Chains A and B, each alone.
Chain A
Amino acid sequence: GDSVTQMEGPVTLSEEAFLTINCTYTATGYPSLFWYVQYPGEGLQLLLKATKADDKGSNKGFEATYRKETTSFHLEKGSVQVSDSAVYFCALTAGGTSYGKLTFGQGTILTVHP
């Protein structure tokens, strides 16, 4: 079945540090890939997405590139802020028997200190 694996957390950084959160996936066919962010006490918000190989999703300074050859979709940001502290989820949706189902990684807690 489909699966998503995220790097273990939590991740603690100082403000303005570089962020990478690794995400790899297993899926049949050509899934769409997403990063969602969950701020404390809130629901999930779509951060960025990519629907085909080599697509780069970007939003709010975050970027991720759909790498089919390495089945990866790593999240990066060049300079994090305290306001980026949240839980980040990598997810995918594939076709076939998984039609419509979002498969999530386990989430990575990011804490940014001033």
Chain B
Amino acid sequence: NAGVTQTPKFQVLKTGQSMTLQCAQDMNHEYMSWYRQDPGMGLRLIHYSVGAGITDQGEVPNGYNVSRSTTEDFPLRLLSAAPSQTSVYFCASSYIRTGGFGYGYTFGSGTRLTVV
């Protein structure tokens, strides 16, 4: 089925470890983004990309890196995991249309990360 695929679904890391959360979409969406979801805080934007080779920071970028080498993939790297990065991570994608993002976004099913 077309959509946004995230792997893994669950992950436990020790403090200081690094890892990459994978995100892939097969809808040829130009725009991709990463959010983290924390209780009572909704979702907050970490990084986003408007096309291959172009990335930018969102609201909470510290401790995370991204790259966009292809239209389909947008991995999120945790450089040195900290307990404060325990969260649920969502990848989302969208077309970029003239006049804005009125089509809405397609979200992956999420990665639940625990840092101990």
Write the residues of chain A forming the contact surface with B, with a CB cutoff of 8 angstroms: 4, 32, 34, 36, 42-46, 49, 51, 89, 93-95, 100-102, 104-107
Question: Which residue from chain A places its CB closest to the CB of B91 in the assembled complex?
Answer: A43
Instruction: Using C-beta atoms within 8 Å of the partner chain, give the interface range for chain B.
Output: 20 to 34
Which residues 44-93 in B have Cβ within 8 Å of A in the complex? Answer: 44-45, 48, 50, 58-59, 90, 92
Question: Which residue of A4, A46, A104 is within 8 Å of B104 (Cβ)?
Answer: A46
CB pairs A–B below 8 angstroms (28 shown): A4-B42, A32-B100, A32-B101, A34-B104, A43-B107, A43-B108, A43-B109, A44-B90, A44-B92, A46-B104, A46-B106, A49-B104, A51-B102, A89-B42, A93-B100, A94-B100, A95-B100, A100-B31, A100-B94, A101-B33, A101-B48, A102-B33, A102-B43, A102-B45, A104-B42, A106-B42, A107-B40, A107-B42
Name A45's contact: one of B33, B45, B107 (CB within 8 Å). B107
- How far, in angstroms, from A34 to B104 measured CA to CA in the complex? 7
Interface string of B5-42 (1 = CB under 8 A from A): 00000000000000000000000000101010000111
Q: Which residues of B contact A46 (CB under 8 A)?
A: 104-106
CA distance A51 to B104 in the complex (A): 10
Q: Which residues from B are CB-within-8-Å of A49?
A: 102, 104
Q: List 5 tightest A-B contacts by C-beta distance, closest first.
A: A104-B42, A51-B102, A43-B107, A43-B109, A46-B104
Q: How far is the CA of A42 from the CA of B111 in the complex (A)?
A: 10
Say how far A11's CB is from chain B's closest CB, in angstroms: 15
B100 neighbours in A (Cβ, 8 Å): 32, 51, 93-95
- A34 to B43 alpha-carbon distance, docked (Å): 14
In contact, B107 and A44 (Cβ under 8 angstroms): yes
* Least distance between B52 CB and chain A CB atoms (Å): 15
Bound-complex Cα distance A49 to B94 (A): 14
B110: shortest Cβ distance to chain A, in Å? Answer: 5
Assembly CA distance A95 to B40 (angstroms): 26
Is B113 an interface residue, CB under 8 A from the partner? Answer: no
Option from A51, A94, A102 in Cβ contact (under 8 Å) with B105 = A102
Cβ distance A26 to chain B, nearest Cβ, rounded Å: 15
